[in-house]
Amino acid sequence: MSKRTEREIVLLYMSALTAAVISPFVLIRFLSGDIVMAIADAIIVILMSIFFLYVYKTHKVALASLLMSLLLIAIIIAFITVHGLSIIYWYYPLVLAIFYLNHQRTAIILCVVSTVTITLLLYPTTNFAEVSVIFVSMLLTSIFSFVIFRSYKGVQAKLKLLATTDPLTSTGNRRALDSELNKAILSQERQKKTMCLILLDLDNFKKINDTYGHLIGDDILVTLTKLLVNNIRMLDTLYRYGGEEFIIAPLYVDLKTAAIIAEDMRAVVEEHVFTDDISMTLSLGVAQFNDKETPSQWIARADAALYIAKDSGRNKVYLAE
């Protein structure tokens, strides 16, 4: 479970627990002679098991979330049709699940459609006053869920940004890099894409801090980030690895193409004049991903190539074996 997203884990638990909880009722209803409901429960168990296997094998949560929401809505509506008003209480926790699993627009559509459908189903057999109360309560539950999850997801997005962004350069930090590399490797295991990683380091950067101070050093790092983004157009794949080291990954190109990209970056930095007329150069190590590598092993090979580039005179690109 460690490499799975939060939504994947929730879907896996929901489908597994639903199947586990409903399974005994298949036998209970069958023994009590309620064959129709026993078959209905068995279908739910089978569908939930299929959902579990689908998410477990594919890691695709968007479609699974929508399908699970639709299935749960269909189950509630079917049970209300058979058993009447007593089942309505199960709809309220379902609304929370719908807003948790789906994007807000999708959740709103699902809740509006299901609320109207249930109201129309109840209307012929329930007095108008009671139907009105149920309709308003379902509507209010949907509205409150929308407000709560909108606030929750907004806060969650801000916290995620703070937790995954380097405060100085506004690039991704090591936490974001680890997450991205793990996702890229999982994807590569399924799709077998060629991908590379570039580790770059500013040459003699310590002397800049010692000579000009850390404020000038920070300004150079920010300028370097802008140079890379503006000239190489890789904002989404640029991460500050530590100090004056940055990583660009994953690049879905072969080693030869990645080397050309690295050389372009080296030339751009070499030709640029930084603040206080300071000139800087880059040393870069490039590594293509090997099957069964971990992120740390992949980075280590790029790091070894980077140090060879530095040891051989700096301001060079070196390719990992």
Which residues are marked as active site? 244
d(CA 239, CA 237): 7
Q: Provide the token pair at 310.
A: 């530095």
Helix, strand, or coil here: 285? strand
d(CA 229, CA 4): 30
Report strand pairing: 317-319 vs 282-288: parallel
CB within 8 Å of 23: residues ≥ 6 apart: 41, 45
Contact call for residues 262 and 286 (beta carbons, < 8 A): yes
d(CA 80, CA 303): 62
Name the residue among 194, 255, 200, 192 with its Cα closest to residue 232. Answer: 200
d(CA 201, CA 258): 16
Amino acid identity at 176: A
Helix, strand, or coil here: 34? coil
Contact call for residues 87 and 121 (beta carbons, < 8 A): no
* Burial group, residue 199, by CB count within 10 angstroms (0-12, 13-18, 19+): buried
3-class SS string, 125-158:
HCCHHHHHHHHHHHHHHHHHHHHHHHHHHHHHHH
